[in-house]
Amino acid sequence: MQFAVHFRVHFAVYFRVYFRVHFAVTKNGRKNKPEYAERAVLEAMVNHFIHRDYTVMGGEVHLDIYDDRLAVTSPGGMYNGMLIQDLDIADVSSERRNPILANVMAQLDYMEKRGSGLTRICNETQALDGYKDELKPIFKSTPTQFQTIIFASSDNQNVGDFVGDMSEMKLTERQQKIVNLIKESATITAKQMSETLSVSPRTIERDLSLMKKAGILRRDGKDNDGVRVVIESI
């Protein structure tokens, strides 16, 4: 089960760093509006890893991210030779090319029941704010590859934009000290912070980059004369 925990943690971190999350300010506070349903993306990745054709040498599962969509592509078409675009996904058979791998992933709780993966991708996507029928995920296959396309939510008008989620990032003791130093002096340099905290400038730069991606910090102005700003409330 340790593998399962590590995989989930790494995927969650990757998702929050590399996928944009919009937000809107309401009377009840900030409401996050992710472009993609995290569970839908995870389901797509797991589905492709389970059903890909491992006899294709050099083949890989690819995740390509575009401005308005993401595409997951893997080697090998459907196991029964049919084309997914010609079928109703609700009636897709549960034949598995790699049953042992599928059973392992099911025991690790990455799958629910046989044949439900594509339906779940659609259901999770439909639950997002701003969903429209034209944003329904697309599944395409040929005899040599399978592809899942998930479109980004279009509910992005009058909202802010950041990468990551400040509310879900737990700061380390050092990162909290960095935030406090910036609050005291917005013009403080990474070198000055490294000297104050007795760590390398590279360590400071790494922490600053992570907190910027998480929406905790932003930089105003040019690199040589700009200032760092702590985003306390949005």
- Fold category of 169-230 in CATH: Arc Repressor Mutant, subunit A (1.10.10)
Q: How far is 75 from 141, CA to CA, in rounded Å?
A: 10
Write the CB contacts of 202 (distance below 8 Å, at least 6 apart in sequence).
none
Distance of CA 74 to the CA centre of its chain: 18
The residue whose two tokens read 């592809």 is 147
For residue 6, pLDDT over 60 is answered with no
Domain parsing of the chain, residue ranges? 2-151, 169-230
User: Considering the chain, what is the average pLDDT of its residues?
Assistant: 78
Does the pTM exceed 0.75?
A: no
Cβ-contact 62, 72 below 8 angstroms: yes
CA distances from 59 to 65, 78, 133 (A): 19, 16, 33
137 — pLDDT class (breaks 50, 70, 90): very high
pLDDT, one tens digit per residue, over 148-180 is: 999 988 654 434 444 444 445 567 888 889 989
Q: In terms of residues, how long is the chain?
A: 234
The hierarchical CATH code for the domain 2-151 is 3.30.565.60
